[in-house]
Chain A
Amino acid sequence: MSTLTISPSPHVHSGDSVKKNMYGVILALIPALIISVYNFGLGAIVVTATAVVSCMLFEHLIQKFLLKQETTIWDGSAMITGLLLAFNIPSNLPIFIIIIGALISIGVGKMSFGGLGNNPFNPALVGRVFLLISYPVQMTSWPIAKALPFSYTDVTTGATPLSVMKEALANGELPTNVLHEIPSYRDLFLGLQGGSAGEMAGIAILLGLGFMLFRKIITWHIPTAVIGSVFIFTGLLHWINPLMYAPPMFHVLSGGLFLGAVFMATDYSSSPMSKKGGLIFGIGIGVLTVAIRVFGAYPEGISFAILIMNAFVPLIDKYIKPKRFGEKPAVAK
């Protein structure tokens, strides 16, 4: 023995790390990726690879040349942003648009705020919404699932269940009249619907959720609050006027609700710290999503809802505190 190390307690560590959590999320995204490739073939592969590689590259370049920092691209966080961006865009999106999306996600959404852990908004959604506003046509022409597995841009496109619903409303039709054009709940749940590359299959996302809960990467609070509040809110509307409003199961199973609730809203740094805060945040997202879907201009509202609620996180964290020890009044006098 030469010298003894002196440091304050505790002297042991759980061994948990940023990498373990981030790669855990990536593992949890694999089932959705498989469904995406199964549905959209080559397109899904090209979109995902482009998004992941460009997100990592932009993070590396910004750290090397602008911030003069050690690179952190292997901590897994940039890969997640890339995957989530890819899952949120159509699988036939031109490559240059994907690269712009990655630049906005990483450059504006993440690094401009100080990188890992400091972003107030979900970086992938920042990129996605930027693209939605800048390239509305490309961003809303969704390839039809399993149409042409080996081609990329030259595919047949079709509407998503939510846009069918929205168009019906716009044309003055009753939404319930177009329900027959929409896949069955079983097909929706298994991912047999049009939409963004990785958002379709509820079952794949739930598999990922189970894995993340098991590994204690996230808690159940936010996903449950989002999906639960969408179900209750749309259920209420449907109960008031079943002809005008689609049934709650349709809203829960279609669009990007599962992906948003499980992977986007639970982003560590843009969600509240306390569990109670997480419930409020999740309910806010659910209510806003339904409001946009049912009363707004866009067919899908989960991205906007999450971004809007992201802005409320500092406020939620300031006022919603975890239950302190000893708050429960003592029994004895």
Chain B
Amino acid sequence: MLKTFSLGGIHPPENKFSAGKKIEALPVPSQVAIPVSQHIGAPAKPIVKKGDAVKVGTLIAESAGFVSANIHSPVSGTVFKVDDIVDASGYRKPAIIINVDGDEWEENIDRSTELKKDITATPEEIVKAVANAGIVGLGGATFPSHVKLSVPPGKTCEVLILNAVECEPYLTADHQLMMEKGEEIMVGTQIIMKALKVDKAVIGIENNKPDAIKHMESLASSYPEITIEPLKVQYPQGGEKQLIDACIKRQIPSGKLPIEVGAVVQNVGTTLAVYEAVQKNKPLFERVVTITGKSVSKPSNFLTRIGTPLNNLIDAAGGLPEDTGKVIGGGPMMGKALVSTDIPITKGSSGVLIMPNEEAKRKPMQNCIKCSKCITVCPMGLEPYLLMTVSDKQVWDRAEEENIMDCIECGSCSYTCPSSRPLLDYIRLGKGKVGQIMRSRTK
């Protein structure tokens, strides 16, 4: 029996069209737009101005606090302007726009492909290098990684868990990364283990990627402290809480962080970025982005510079299909519908899903028939039908009592509902309001 998390879960069609497609480097665009807010936390402060010359890897915006991240230029050229642009959120936000000229890298970046296995950096140096490189969680959450590597005083980390689940349908970036950069990920894992001072790491991979499991297992045979954990395919296994439950059978109590149960979770893509930052001195300025969809003629995994216009990716994947009804940043379960294709790729862009018209619209909502399927699938053991009702009726204290803040917004309830009720929409609304009430109480 393969392991999986203990409560709820669904199994949506996987549709991994771009699986097995080699990672291709997307040509450097003629202009990039780099939002200064690509991570959770304070937006970075731009330190370049119009007319400045930059190289690939030049720091262009500085971290504005502990929970914030540096941003480096992904291209060489001149700063065209610092101005507001529409980003993936649909709002106008400040960004640094750079006109590209050639592809000249900062000299201190090691561009060789040779594997560097010896870890000479001390734990403190590792955390510092990760912070300097501007690394954030590349699974999509974009939480600054150096924060996660700094274990709070009084807590100990017992195990590092690597998230290689990629439970979102369609997305294949992490899968392909393991196939092509497995060695680097192993070294990256050791680097993170050193920073966290743990001697055990588990890489959780769902068994719909048997080739990746086999490949990583053969690599892990020379790293006795790293184990590969094949997991039963079940959404949302890539959720931090679910992954920890699946791998080490510990459940994080309500409102607490993974370190409470002695675990730290990092995404495999992030782990590769850590390797490159620490061993190769390469900041985070490019990432693998899956571009896919049922009507997309060339579903692909592109190594993309941050700031590349989404339209360039779409063109490289064979152009925007005729029947496009929705463009989603991320996967179909938790991704955001984009207002336009004229937006830049950022650190958190794990994939772009182009959905045909007939799948873009929701079905009309019907009465709740109390079938309780939303309860059956909820991975947090909540009652989505009830949370929707209390949010609709604005009974906020009851919503709090019913643990509305535990909702991880995985969307399993809305996905399952036979009456097509927008359960998660209402729960989000309730979470926003209840969160506000809770914060005002502690003030």
| B369 A4 Cβ-Cβ under 8 A | no
Q: Is B339 an interface residue (CB 8 A)?
A: yes
Q: Given A14-B415, A18-B418, A116-B369, is A8 in contact with B428 using a C-beta cutoff of 8 Å? A: yes
A216 to B371 Cα, complex, angstroms:
10
Which residues of B have CB within 8 Å of A10? 332-334, 411-412, 414-415, 424
- Which of chain A's residues 201-226 have a Cβ closer than 8 Å to chain B? 216, 219
Residue of B nearest to A331 (CB): B250
- Alpha-carbon separation in the docked complex, A271 to B375 (Å): 14
Q: Are B333 and A9 in contact (CB under 8 A)?
A: yes
C-beta contact mask, B359-389 vs A, less than 8 Å → 1, else 0?
Answer: 1111100111111110110111111011000
Question: Which chain B residues border A117 with CB–CB below 8 Å?
Answer: 367-370, 419
Query: Which residue from A5, A114, A271, A330 sits with its C-beta under 8 Å from B326?
Result: A5
Q: Which of B21-29, B48-56, B103-111, B252-260 contacts A (4 or more CB under 8 A)?
A: B252-260
Contact, CB under 8 Å: A1 / B370? no
Which stretch (A135-143, A254-262, A317-325) binds chain B? Answer: A317-325
A328 near B370 (CB under 8 angstroms)? no
Please name the residue on chain B nearest to A118 by beta carbon: B367
B360 touches A332 (CB 8 A): no
Give min CB distance, B326 to chain A, whole Å: 5
Q: List 29 A-B contacts (CB under 8 A).
A: A1-B322, A5-B361, A6-B339, A8-B425, A9-B332, A9-B335, A9-B409, A10-B424, A11-B359, A12-B12, A12-B13, A12-B415, A13-B363, A14-B416, A16-B416, A17-B363, A18-B366, A21-B369, A117-B367, A117-B369, A269-B369, A273-B372, A325-B406, A327-B381, A330-B250, A330-B260, A330-B261, A331-B250, A331-B261
Interface assignment of A7: CB less than 8 Å from any CB of chain B: yes
Instruction: Return B404 CB to nearest CB of chain A, in Å.
Output: 12
B329 nearest CB across to chain A (Å): 10
A16 touches which one: B13, B355, B417 (CB < 8 A)? Answer: B417
Task: Tell which of B90, B341, B369, B416 touches A18, judged by Cβ atoms closer than 8 Å.
Answer: B369
CB distance from B421 to the nearest CB of A (A): 10
Q: Shortest CB–CB separation between residue A129 and chain B, in angstroms?
A: 21
Asked whether any CB of chain A lies closer than 8 Å to the CB of B158, the reply is yes
Asked if A268 is an interface residue, CB under 8 A from chain B, the answer is: yes
A228 on the B face (CB < 8 A): no
| Chain A residues whose C-beta falls within 8 Å of the C-beta of B41 in the assembled complex | none
Q: B380 and A324: CB pair below 8 A? A: yes
In the assembly, what is the distance between CA of A114 and CA of B369, in Å? 11
Task: Confirm or deny: B320 has a beta carbon within 8 angstroms of a beta carbon on chain A.
Answer: yes
Q: A156 CA to B301 CA in the complex, in Å? A: 76
In the complex the two chains form, is B252's CB within 8 Å of A330's CB?
yes
Residues from chain B with Cβ under 8 Å of A7 in the complex: 326, 337, 362
Shortest B74–chain A CB gap in Å is 26
Binding site for B on A (CB under 8 A): 1, 4-14, 16-18, 20-21, 75, 114-118, 216, 219, 268-269, 271, 273-275, 321-328, 330-332
Which chain B residues in 122-138 approach chain A with CB under 8 Å? Answer: none
Closest 5 CB pairs of A and B: A10-B411, A332-B262, A324-B381, A117-B367, A5-B360
Contact (A14, B326) CB under 8 Å given A326-B252, A331-B261:
no
What separation, in Å, do the CA atoms of A321 and B12 have in the docked complex?
A: 26
**In the bound complex, what is the Cα–Cα distance between A325 and B253 (angstroms)?**
7
Known: A11-B332, A331-B261. A16 touches B418 (CB 8 A): yes
Interface centre among B12, B251, B261 (most CB of A within 10 A): B251
Q: Is B7 located at the chain interface by the 8 A CB criterion?
A: yes
Q: Beta-carbon contacts of B318-339 to A below 8 Å, as 1s and 0s?
A: 0010101111100011111111
CA distance A242 to B181 in the complex (A): 74
| Chain A residue at minimum C-beta to C-beta distance from B8 | A325
- Indicate if the CB atoms of B254 and A324 lie closer than 8 Å: yes
- B20 CB within 8 Å of chain A: no
B416 lies within 8 A of A9 (CB): no
Instruction: Tell me the smallest distance from the CB of B398 to a CB of chain A, in Å.
Output: 10
Chain A minimum-CB-distance residue to B251: A326
Question: Is B325 a contact partner of A4 (Cβ separation < 8 A)?
Answer: yes
A21 contact set on B, CB distance < 8 A: 369, 371, 418
Q: Are A20 and B366 in contact (CB under 8 A)?
A: no
Taken together as a complex, chains A and B put the C-alpha atoms of A216 and B338 apart, in Å, by: 35
B420 lies within 8 A of chain A by Cβ: yes
Give the residue among A12, A13, A268, A328 with the most B Cβ atoms within 10 A.
A12
Enumerate chain A residues within 8 angstroms of B322, measured Cβ to Cβ: 1
